[in-house]
Structure 1
Amino acid sequence: MEIRLQKIIADAGLASRREAERWILEGKVQVNNKVVTQLGSLADPREDRIKVSGKLIPKKQDEVYIVLNKPTGCLTTMADDKRGRTTVMEYVKVTKARVFPVGRLDYNTQGVLLFTNNGSLAKKLLLPKYKVERTYKVKVSGIPNEKTLKRLMRGVHIKDEKFKPIDAKIQKTSGKNCFLIMTLVEGKNRHIKKVCEHIGHPVIKLQRTHFGGLNLTGLPLGACRFLSPKEVKALKKLVADEPKSTRPAKKK
């Protein structure tokens, strides 16, 4: 089936549709060895040879969605580690499709990690504007008081970096430490660890229990499974509508 060229490029995870349109106008896109510069041009991602800047886009595959219960002690990367450490790709060999992780979990963080070959959806799920929730079970040093938890709910600044509000509740105490349930809508590098360190309660153990409605029910550590059609539909629905801008309109 023929679809717009810029959508094919975006779905391959190479760029946004707007950037893909710019590439087309700049003459960087070829279909069956012919340069295409007309916006709205159609192509068949399963049959046509499509190149961007001379590099061939792999022909469209069926969409694949896998959720992994990532164990600790492995890297979230598609490349082999130079130091020989295990990567998450070792745990998702249930498909021959070229899937990639949506976002990342740190080396010693475990829990829900989504894989797909749908680049367009993956990018949207990670954009803060869509407010896709991630929930973590966090064991921290000490027991934060109510005032400290409210600081997280207002959002915090660490040096020049701003962190959006985090919903944080104490699940249970464990001696002098406790477990927090923390829900957020963005995923910066070492996000939870930075924030907890900032409020004086360093992370001892970290597990992501939910991502965009996906959870760990029935999924042992290190195991993965394909998403059901219902789960895929729910993920797509999370980012189906463009969020309304909360910025005030400019005065004329």
Structure 2
Amino acid sequence: MEERLQKYMADCGLMSRRAAEEEIRKGLVTVNGVPAELGTKVTPGVDQVLYKNRKVVMPRGEHVYIMLNKPAGYVTTANDEKGRPCVTDLVKAVGRRVYPIGRLDMASEGLLLLTDDGALTETLTHPRHSIPKIYNVKVEGEITEEQYKTLLSPMEIDGYPIRPVYTEVLKRKDGKTLLQMTLYEGRNRQIRKMCEQVGLQIRFLKRIAIGNLTLGRLRVGEWRYLTKEQVSYLKGEENHV
């Protein structure tokens, strides 16, 4: 049965449908040796789909869901044109091609989810999805009352309005301030750009939770499989964690 190419790529766990559409527009996808276009349809198991000259295939069996405690110094992608270390290098023992859900910039660390479930990736990265993401952010100097109030207020990032971000001061010590910030949307480098706007210099940024999912005792650079209950929670099913 035919289906849209971007849906097939998402179902294969390669990326979200929206991301697949962008890659198709860039000419990076071929079907049976012919450059694909938006609107191209494929029959799984019959048509040969290549992305960057690599075959796109449906994963066997059940999907895989992973939590990684990302170290700084890794880019959140499966392949990097500049040859930098990728987060997928840390989960090769899984034995399956998995892809990150969302992003953490190279200098940041903390909780990152990876999967081969394209449908879940699509759900969690869609703008209307509002699962909170919690970050610990250490900044240089002591935050002023004016800076604090600005972070709590509506702001603009790259010309787009963003929702107010709940910000709490956890600690002031040795000329630095530790903040905890909760995001319900995830624009590119949002926290760094917010802090830059108010004159705060970030020294350390770590995502510690996505909704009810926390790192627990997972050490930096380590990963583990999500439990069935955690997967159900992310999918919005009953019997949440």
**TM-score with structure 2 length normalisation?**
0.77
Larger Cα Rg: Structure 1 or Structure 2?
1
2:87 is the counterpart of 1:74: no
Distance in 2 (CA, whole Å) between partners of 1:170 and 1:111 is 19
2:46 is the counterpart of 1:49: yes
Code of the residue aligned with 1:49 in structure 2: it is: V
Identify if the C-alpha distance between structure 1 residues 164 and 96 changes in structure 2 by more than 3 Å, giving closer, same or farther: same
Distance in 2 (CA, whole Å) between partners of 1:112 and 1:8 is 28
* Paired position in structure 2 for 1:212: 211
What is the correspondence of 1:134-149 to structure 2 with a 5 Å cutoff? 134-149=133-148
Identify if the C-alpha distance between structure 1 residues 10 and 100 changes in structure 2 by more than 3 Å, giving closer, same or farther: closer
Distance in 2 (CA, whole Å) between partners of 1:9 and 1:72 is 29
8 Å CA contact retained: 1:50, 1:57: no
Code of the residue aligned with 1:185 in structure 2: it is: Y
Listed one character per residue, the Cα deviations across residues 70-114 of structure 1 (whole Å, up to 9, x for unaligned) are 1111222211453x4322112111212210011111111110011
Deviation at 1:185, TM superposition (A): 1.1
Code of the residue aligned with 2:218 in structure 1: it is: L
**SS of structure 1 residue aligned to 2:88:** helix
What is the correspondence of 1:133-212 to structure 2 with a 5 Å cutoff? 133-158=132-157, 160-212=159-211
8 Å CA contact retained: 2:131, 2:210: yes
Code of the residue aligned with 2:58 in structure 1: it is: K
* Paired position in structure 2 for 1:243: none
Code of the residue aligned with 1:222 in structure 2: it is: G
Code of the residue aligned with 1:74 in structure 2: it is: Y
Deviation at 1:187, TM superposition (A): 1.4
Identify if the C-alpha distance between structure 1 residues 140 and 96 changes in structure 2 by more than 3 Å, giving closer, same or farther: same
Identify if the C-alpha distance between structure 1 residues 226 and 195 changes in structure 2 by more than 3 Å, giving closer, same or farther: same
Identify if the C-alpha distance between structure 1 residues 10 and 59 changes in structure 2 by more than 3 Å, giving closer, same or farther: closer
Code of the residue aligned with 2:136 in structure 1: it is: K
Identify if the C-alpha distance between structure 1 residues 101 and 186 changes in structure 2 by more than 3 Å, giving closer, same or farther: same
**SS of structure 1 residue aligned to 2:181:** strand
Q: Which runs of 5+ in 2 are unaligned?
A: 22-37
Identify if the C-alpha distance between structure 1 residues 149 and 128 changes in structure 2 by more than 3 Å, giving closer, same or farther: farther
Code of the residue aligned with 2:203 in structure 1: it is: I
**SS of structure 2 residue aligned to 1:210:** strand
* Paired position in structure 2 for 1:93: 92
Deviation at 1:14, TM superposition (A): 5.9
8 Å CA contact retained: 1:128, 1:186: yes
Distance in 2 (CA, whole Å) between partners of 1:156 and 1:14 is 28
Identify if the C-alpha distance between structure 1 residues 14 and 161 changes in structure 2 by more than 3 Å, giving closer, same or farther: closer
Deviation at 1:52, TM superposition (A): 6.5
**TM-score with structure 1 length normalisation?**
0.74
- What is the RMSD of the two structures over their aligned residues, measured on CA atoms? 2.8
Identify if the C-alpha distance between structure 1 residues 14 and 69 changes in structure 2 by more than 3 Å, giving closer, same or farther: closer
Counting aligned pairs with the same residue, the percent is: 35
Deviation at 1:154, TM superposition (A): 2.3
**SS of structure 1 residue aligned to 2:236:** helix
Q: Which runs of 5+ in 1 are unaligned?
A: 20-25, 32-44, 239-252
Deviation at 1:149, TM superposition (A): 2.5
Distance in 1 (CA, whole Å) between partners of 2:185 and 2:166 is 12
Deviation at 1:10, TM superposition (A): 4.6
* Paired position in structure 2 for 1:36: none
Identify if the C-alpha distance between structure 1 residues 93 and 161 changes in structure 2 by more than 3 Å, giving closer, same or farther: same
* Paired position in structure 1 for 2:58: 59
Distance in 2 (CA, whole Å) between partners of 1:206 and 1:112 is 11
